[in-house]
Structure 1
Amino acid sequence: MRDVIIIGAGGGGPVVAKELAERGLDVLVLEAGARHANPEQEWSALENHMNSSLAGKFRFGPADPAKPAWFRELVTPGNFSQVAGVGGTTLHYYGNSPRAMPGVFAGYRGRDRWMYDYRHQFPFSYEEMRRYYEWTEATLPVQTAAMGTKEQAFFDAATAAGLTPITGKDITHAGFRPQENAILQPGGNAGRTSDPSQLNYPDATGCTLCGHCFQGCMLPKSAPRNLKARRSTDNSYMPMALTADLWKPGGKAITLVTDAYVTRILTDPRWGGRLQTATGVEWRDVNTGEIHSEDAKVVVMAGGCIENPRLWHNSDLPDPNGWVGRGLTDHALDWVTGIFDHDVGGATGTSCSSRADFPGYGAMQNTANTPGVAANNLAASDSGIRGAYDNGLGLEGTWDGKAGRAYGTELKEMMSNINNQMSILILTDDDVEHQNKVDVSRVFKDKQGPVARVDIDKRRRSRRTFRNREYLANKAAEILRAAGATKIVRTDWTPVLLHLQSSMRMGDDRRNSVLDENCEARAVGGLFIADNSALPNSLGGPNPTLSTQALATRTAEKIFQQYFGGDVWVGGETPICSIDDAVTQAVINRGI
């Protein structure tokens, strides 16, 4: 019997794995997708090669590209932006690691508290969460992003639009700031040259400002895996978990099995105050079709906001309050793009290094995208085609014309020089709403059982969510005007399921939450959740990964205390950084 089985090696699972392995527990991690052991040979900067949802390296599907991607049923128009494999969707995230807004936590007493989704708060205070943020920020590590042309242009424009700087990591007022990024700062030749021959480790360290974050981070070349620039979990927490016995006295390296799709949570119906207790898992070898099972004292679900509800329902686990898979949030994303008659660094440097935050409304970030991603962002809309037809949904504001899809000559002109673009991504503080849900399809099945069915309709959002989205889009247009944009286009982006959160939410009210204050399932003892789905709300708008990882650290600590008689460590110890010399040597010794 294992001590702990973790399902999924994306943004949250490796955090729990590393923390518990460091304390000597026997941990098995099961990942349905691939482990990319040698990115320098396996990956490229080609967008379709990496990001195609059908056959790209970064898709939700098996490791073998000849096999079809795994299907999900999407009720309303949109698309998925998720990745299977070690690292999960952090493989193509931009490393943005802001903390949540204090207003989404219990006990917040700010004068603006009424502006948040106060019915679905964290069941503990921001002050308690702060020490888990600090631990996670030190472990990754999180550092202030490197600045360049586009960041300076954004800051100048935000100042001209009347915003003031935010200092520190806590969001106390509306303003702008550099991103706190899980990306190592440039060192040596990095950031000083674009000559590839000069950008090999150790002559170059940290971020080389290549601009290809969405295609995965394989730079600097020749660097040990834990010294690759961007701190996706395949570069940070997973190398630590796989070498814990080498760098931590008393530590025990985890066991990682990839191509292992978990199809059922095994339970025992006898449990004190719970309906059932988890006893292990059943999983299917994606390559051979063989079925395996394994027992454990504790099971941790970290398969994400879509797969966790699917697995729960396919395991016939109890759902006494009807909230499994409910309350899905996604930041109601949108794009506002400015076109300039001069270079504003639109596709230069790190993908996303500057942001502005608006407590009670959400956030926005200046984002540089590669050409294919940028064109997609301009061409995927719910509001008709600009200059061709209006489907009646076109939104009007301080941008040029109605919101909608750019196409044809207009799109070609906008894409003619992407360094003359400034793209702003809107991240709304959207409400937890019962009708936004993930369940299982009544029509479609695959070899793992009924597939996930996702129903999140942006046209049925709450009044507050709509208000926040319009407020932020108009603010973005104001900033672009202040920067001197000659043209401003709002996309009214069709739902892109990227910043998914809250489908298995924690909370202090058993009537509307799946998890208790420790992220343990209310209905199933010994079953925890440690990914974005455990978040109780949309965090006020900030990107979710850091909050998920901080919460997963807290969950690991609770598991260690409750089930293995361990002590609290966060706040009482100094975290070991994923790039420390001892970790680096362990990674080299083991060939991770």
Structure 2
Amino acid sequence: MRDVIVIGAGGGGPVVAKELAARGLDVLLLEAGPRHGQPEKDWTHFEDDQNNLFKGALRWGPADRARTNWFRETPQRSYITQVAGVGGTTTHYFGNCPRSMPGAFNDYAGADREAYDTAHLFPFGYAEMKRYYRWVEKVLPVQTAAMGTKEQVFFRGCEGIGLPVQAGKDALRDAFRPQENCILQPQGNAGRTTETALLRYPLAQGCTFCGSCYQGCKEPIRAPVNLKAKRSTCSSYVPMALTADLWMPGGRAAQLVANAFVTRIRSATEAGQVVAKGVSWRDTVTGLSYSEDARVVVLSAGCVEDPRLWLNSGLPNPNGWVGRGLTDHALDWVIGLMPYDTNSSKGAASSARADFPGLGAVENVGLPPALQALTASFSDSGVRGAYTVGQGETGPWTGRAGRAMGHEMKEVLDNVNRVLNVLVLTDDDVESQNLVSLSNVFPADEHGRIPKVEIGKRQRSARTMANRRKLAERAAGILKAAGATKVIRMDFPPLMLHMQSSMRMGANAADSVLDADAEARWVKRLFVADNAALANSCGGMNPTLTTQALATRTAEKIFQRYFGGQAWVESETPLSSVDARVTQAVQQRGL
């Protein structure tokens, strides 16, 4: 019997695996997708090769790219960007690591506290959470992002609308700042040249400014896996988990099994209480099935697969909130066409932001051409211009909101380094109609009944929609102040880059699945440790840092509750994933 089985090696699962393996527990980490063991061979800078939903390297599907992707039912027009594989969706995230808005927690007493989703606050305080933020910020590590031209342009626009600079990491007022991100700072030749021969490790270290953040991160070439620039969990927490016996006295190396799609959480009833006992999984390459027991099971398969697996396992759902309350930051996109170069496609994708507590946040995003075309054509308001027929909202943008087509699309793509993109991250409400359930329309696949994801736009709360529009207006103002000659608001349909809260923790047992320690209310010894556990949308902030801080807290609670251990976050100094001891362990183990 294992001590702990962790389901999913994405943003949260490897955090629990690393922390508990470092404490000497026997941890099995299962991942449905492949392990990209050689990023320099497995990942490229070619956008379609990496990002194609059906056959790309970074998709929700099996290792064999000739096989179809794993299907989800989405009754509304929407786009789910999850990735199967070790590292999960952190393989194509931008590494942004802001802390949550303090107003999302139950100890917030600011004058604007009623501006948040007060019915669904985190069931503990921000003051407590900060010690776990500090731990993860050290491990990854999180640093102030390296700046480039597009960030300077964004900052100029922020100054132009009268925003001050944010001091510190806690977002307590309207302000702008560099991102806090987990992308290693450029060193040596990195950021100073585009000559390939000069951008190999150790001549170049950290971010090489290649501009291909969405295509994984293989930079710098020849760097050890734990020194790849972007701190996806496949480059940070996973290598630490697999070498915990080498860098931590008393530690025990976790075991990773990739291509292992968990199909059932096995449980039993003891003294009238349902208790998790282990899992069953299917090898997606051979088709063979396996089972293993554990004292604790941690569910970290993502906001869609967590409720799917729960329901397919026949686990209890007495209040109906398994899969409910899904938040996605109600994203929107605003493009400024600039009369000068912004170097939008170069460097880390997103290194500057402006935060608006109670509303959400906006951040600049630079993209290569195909992704730029995708974002400029993705809208719920039809085509801009004569064909819009009054669908899109008017505002401080040019014309009505809607997708660019024809001559206007040519304007956008004529030079992607003369645009500035702003992504809107809305502080959206937890709402019961936003739901992951099991499909009654499509047949089951080899892993059981498939998930159905319902997250409409037009049924959103008045607060969510008002927040979204206000942020779009601020984004347009920033672009105009920076000199944009045209401002295009897309009015995105649901683009599920950020998903949270489908298995949410909460103080109220009537509308939450997890207690304040992230243990399932109706299944003992079962915890959730990914974005699904988040109580709300974090005030509109990028969720990964909060998920990883919460997963650290959850690992500590598991260790104390079921293994008789002591808390460590206050008593130890965390080891960074780029420390020389970790690099030596990674090289010794041949990772």
Alignment TM class, shorter chain as reference? over 0.9
- The answer for the alignment partner of 1:529 in structure 2 is 528
* CA apart distance, 1:393: 3.3
- The answer for the alignment partner of 1:580 in structure 2 is 579
- The answer for the alignment partner of 2:205 in structure 1 is 205
SS of residue paired to 1:278: strand
CA contact (8 A) 1:261 1:285 kept: yes
Q: Does 1:216 align with 2:206?
A: no
CA contact (8 A) 1:18 1:237 kept: yes
- The answer for the alignment partner of 1:430 in structure 2 is 428
Q: How does 1:551-566 map to 2 (within 5 A)?
A: 551-566=550-565
CA contact (8 A) 1:383 1:391 kept: no
SS of residue paired to 2:120: coil
Q: Does 1:116 align with 2:116?
A: yes
- The answer for the alignment partner of 1:294 in structure 2 is 292
CA contact (8 A) 1:271 1:277 kept: no
* CA apart distance, 1:20: 0.3
- The answer for the alignment partner of 1:178 in structure 2 is 178
Deviation string, structure 1 residues 514-560 (Cα, Å, up to 9, x no partner): 00000000000000000000000000011000000000000000000
TM-score (norm 1): 0.99
CA contact (8 A) 2:390 2:400 kept: no
Q: How does 1:87-236 map to 2 (within 5 A)?
A: 87-236=87-236
- The answer for the alignment partner of 1:311 in structure 2 is 309
- The residue type equivalent to 2:207 in the other structure is C
SS of residue paired to 2:539: coil
- The residue type equivalent to 1:577 in the other structure is S
Deviation string, structure 1 residues 133-174 (Cα, Å, up to 9, x no partner): 000000000000000111111111100111000011111111
SS of residue paired to 1:29: strand
SS of residue paired to 1:300: strand
For 1:396 and 1:543, locate their aligned partners in 2 and report how far apart those are by CA, in whole Å. 27
For 1:395 and 1:560, locate their aligned partners in 2 and report how far apart those are by CA, in whole Å. 52
Alpha carbon RMSD of aligned pairs, Å? 0.8
Q: How does 1:433-512 map to 2 (within 5 A)?
A: 433-444=431-442, 445-512=444-511
> How many correspondences in the alignment?
590
CA contact (8 A) 2:385 2:400 kept: no
SS of residue paired to 1:313: helix
For 2:343 and 2:161, locate their aligned partners in 1 and report how far apart those are by CA, in whole Å. 20
- The answer for the alignment partner of 1:20 in structure 2 is 20
For 2:430 and 2:493, locate their aligned partners in 1 and report how far apart those are by CA, in whole Å. 19
For 1:467 and 1:124, locate their aligned partners in 2 and report how far apart those are by CA, in whole Å. 28
CA contact (8 A) 2:435 2:453 kept: yes
For 1:318 and 1:279, locate their aligned partners in 2 and report how far apart those are by CA, in whole Å. 15
Q: How does 1:268-287 map to 2 (within 5 A)?
A: 268-271=268-271, 275-287=273-285
CA contact (8 A) 1:224 1:587 kept: yes
- The residue type equivalent to 2:93 in the other structure is Y
- The answer for the alignment partner of 1:547 in structure 2 is 546
For 1:316 and 1:117, locate their aligned partners in 2 and report how far apart those are by CA, in whole Å. 31
Deviation string, structure 1 residues 489-524 (Cα, Å, up to 9, x no partner): 000012111100000000111111000000000000
- The residue type equivalent to 1:103 in the other structure is G
Q: For structure 2, list consecutive stretches of 5 or more residues without a partner in the other structure.
A: none
For 1:85 and 1:393, locate their aligned partners in 2 and report how far apart those are by CA, in whole Å. 39
Deviation string, structure 1 residues 224-260 (Cα, Å, up to 9, x no partner): 0000000000000000001111111111111111111
Deviation string, structure 1 residues 16-58 (Cα, Å, up to 9, x no partner): 0000000100000110000000010121100000000111000
SS of residue paired to 2:450: strand
* CA apart distance, 1:388: 4.1
- The answer for the alignment partner of 1:245 in structure 2 is 245
For 2:338 and 2:433, locate their aligned partners in 1 and report how far apart those are by CA, in whole Å. 41
* CA apart distance, 1:391: 5.7
- The residue type equivalent to 2:562 in the other structure is Y
SS of residue paired to 1:266: strand
For 2:300 and 2:503, locate their aligned partners in 1 and report how far apart those are by CA, in whole Å. 11
Once the two structures are overlaid, the 10-residue window that deviates more, 441-450 or 10-19, is 441-450
CA contact (8 A) 2:383 2:403 kept: yes
* CA apart distance, 1:347: 1.5
Percent sequence identity over aligned pairs: 60
- The answer for the alignment partner of 1:31 in structure 2 is 31
TM-score (norm 2): 0.99
Q: How does 1:65-84 map to 2 (within 5 A)?
A: 65-84=65-84
CA contact (8 A) 1:271 1:525 kept: no
For 2:287 and 2:215, locate their aligned partners in 1 and report how far apart those are by CA, in whole Å. 30
For 1:6 and 1:388, locate their aligned partners in 2 and report how far apart those are by CA, in whole Å. 53
SS of residue paired to 1:261: strand
Q: Does 1:352 align with 2:357?
A: no
- The answer for the alignment partner of 1:382 in structure 2 is 380
- The residue type equivalent to 1:517 in the other structure is A
* CA apart distance, 1:390: 2.4
SS of residue paired to 2:561: helix
CA contact (8 A) 2:43 2:217 kept: no
SS of residue paired to 1:109: coil
CA contact (8 A) 2:302 2:531 kept: yes
* CA apart distance, 1:271: 4.3
CA contact (8 A) 1:10 1:85 kept: yes
